[in-house]
Amino acid sequence: MGLLLLTVGMLTLVLGAEALVRGATRLARTLGVPPLLLGLTVVSIGTSAPELAVGLAAVERDAGALAVGNIAGTNLVNILLILGLSAWIRALPLRLQSLRLDLPAMILATVAMSWLAHDGRFSRADGLLLLAGSAVYTVLLVRVSGRESALVRREFRDMYPPETATAATPAMRSRGPRWAADALLLLGGIALAVLGAGWLVSGAVALAHAAGVDEAIIGLSVVALGTSLPELATTLVATRRDERDVAVGNLIGSSIYNILLILGLTCLAAPDGLPAPAAVSRFDLPLLVAVALLCVPVFASGRRVSRGEGALLVAIYAAYVAWLYLAR
């Protein structure tokens, strides 16, 4: 029963996340949000919606360790598996912004998460600190995005066609049904994500208890893979369209928001904070910091992630998952 709930919940969650991102991007275009800013903020945050839904569902079911494991596991999936797999398929060029802003922000966010976990719990005060970091990063992101190159702007326009990307005009305002349909898609996506997250968490907890496995391990692996599917889809679509620097930007942006925004909101939703399991604090979070630091030489070597480096990242993730289940 646990496996069935987990599978159905994962599928429902992914479907809801897809509807949420589509509804959000359409509304943003209708409101005249530039494609570049749309991709850097709306899509990055939208693809992190499953992590938020799972975190809130875990808090409600008193499975906070699963929520923390899911955040750490998802970011490991993002960088090692998804980024590595995408680069393994085709070498990934990097935007200058990825080196100057996104990479340092990801390292700082990862170090902050590891440091805040040292006392065994993420408190509500910790959540407020993470949310403040999210606000600062978003402001810097908006300012820096205005200086992006014409090539990157064109790639974002290709990924998010500006079919309605102009300010609301009288003709556009007359298309009330379109606005209503986009809003309904967004709300329906949120509802499906919440419903699917509840089933996924219930199934994951039941599966963990039945198999005698710690909830955090389920969060680090199975749940993390499930909630990372939106990022995987977005990245592979961008890679297929040869818009690979955009793919990297969205992936790193999602990893940053997972910690600063999603973990921050989840901490606030938990009256007594979130537990940070000792094993996660001792190994998984330091590994996440090491992976973030590993990105510095990888990203700086020719401002690209080569196919060989991509294969190495995937191999590291495979070894990590094997160790997770065989040794722990």
3-state secondary structure of 305: strand
Residue with tokens 């990590």: 320
User: In total, how many domains does the chain have?
Assistant: 1
Could you give the CA distance from residue 105 to residue 138 in angstroms, rounded to a whole number?
Answer: 11
How many other C-beta atoms can be found within 10 angstroms of the C-beta atom of residue 269?
18
CATH number, position 154 = 1.20.1420.30
Q: How far is CA 90 from CA 71, 76, 85, in A?
A: 27, 20, 9
Q: pLDDT digits over 194-229, tens only? A: 788 788 888 888 877 787 777 788 888 888 888 887
- In terms of phi and psi (left: phi > 0; alpha: psi -120 to 50; beta: otherwise), the region of 62 is left
3-state secondary structure of 246: helix
Q: Which two tokens stand for residue 146?
A: 């205005």
Residue type, 251: L
Could you give the CA distance from residue 302 to residue 292 in angstroms, rounded to a whole number?
Answer: 18
Query: What's the domain range around 173?
Result: 2-326
pTM: predicted TM-score of the whole model, two decimal places: 0.81
Q: Which of 227, 219, 184 is nearest to 46 (CA)?
A: 227
pLDDT per residue as tens, the chain (328 positions): 778 888 888 788 778 877 877 777 777 677 666 655 666 666 677 778 888 888 998 898 888 899 999 999 999 999 999 999 988 988 887 766 667 788 999 999 999 999 999 999 999 999 999 999 999 999 888 787 666 555 555 655 665 555 544 444 444 444 556 777 877 887 888 788 778 878 888 888 887 778 777 778 888 888 888 888 777 776 776 667 665 656 677 788 889 999 999 999 999 999 888 999 999 999 999 999 999 999 999 888 877 889 999 999 999 999 999 998 887 6
Annotate 159-174 with b (16+ C-beta within 10 A) or e (fewer): bbeeebbeeeeeebee
Q: What is the sign, positive or negative, of the torsion defined by CA atoms of 111, 51, 77, 186?
A: negative
